[in-house]
Amino acid sequence: MKDELLEREAASWAALEVAVAKVPAERLAEPGAVPGWSVADLVWHCAKWADYSGANLEAMAAGTYVPDDHDDAYFDALNGSFADESKAMSWDAIVTGAAAARARVRAALAALPEADAPAVEDFGGETFEHYEEHAAEIAAFAAGS
C-alpha cells in the first residue's frame, strides 16, 4: 500500500512539473493561474500542504496526532499565508522548498508501521489529489499563455 501511494505521489508531482514547464519562466509569478494566485503560488501551496501532511504523519507515528477540527476560515487564512510567503520567494527557493516538503512527507509515510485509513486519507489528500487539482489549473493557464 505505501509503495503504491509513494508511486502515485511521484507520478502526480511529475505531472505537475510537466504543467509548470509549459509556462514561460517570466509568467511563473504572474497572477491568474487561479484568481489572485500565480503558478509559483500554487506550487508553493502544494509544497506547504505536503509538509503539513508530513507533520501529521510524523505525529501519527509518534502517537500524538490529533485530527484537525479547524473551520474553513482557519484553512483559508493558512492558504493566504502560504500565498503571501510564495510572493516573497524566488522560483529557486520555491523549488528547493517543495523538494524538502516532498522528502518529508514521503519519509513520514514510509516510516509508518502501516498506512491505515487516516494516514492514507491525509497523505493522498495533501499530496497527489492536491497536485492533480492544481496541475490541471496550471495546464489551463499555460494553454492561455
pLDDT in tens, the chain (145 residues): 999 999 999 999 999 999 999 999 999 999 999 999 999 999 999 999 999 999 999 999 999 999 888 899 999 999 999 999 999 999 999 999 999 999 999 999 999 999 999 999 999 999 999 999 999 999 999 998 6
Domain 2-143, CATH homologous superfamily name and number: dinb family like domain (1.20.120.450)
Give the closest residue to 7 by CA, choosing from 114, 128, 104: 128
Domain ranges of the chain: 2-143
Give the closest residue to 126 by CA, choosing from 95, 82, 87, 63: 82
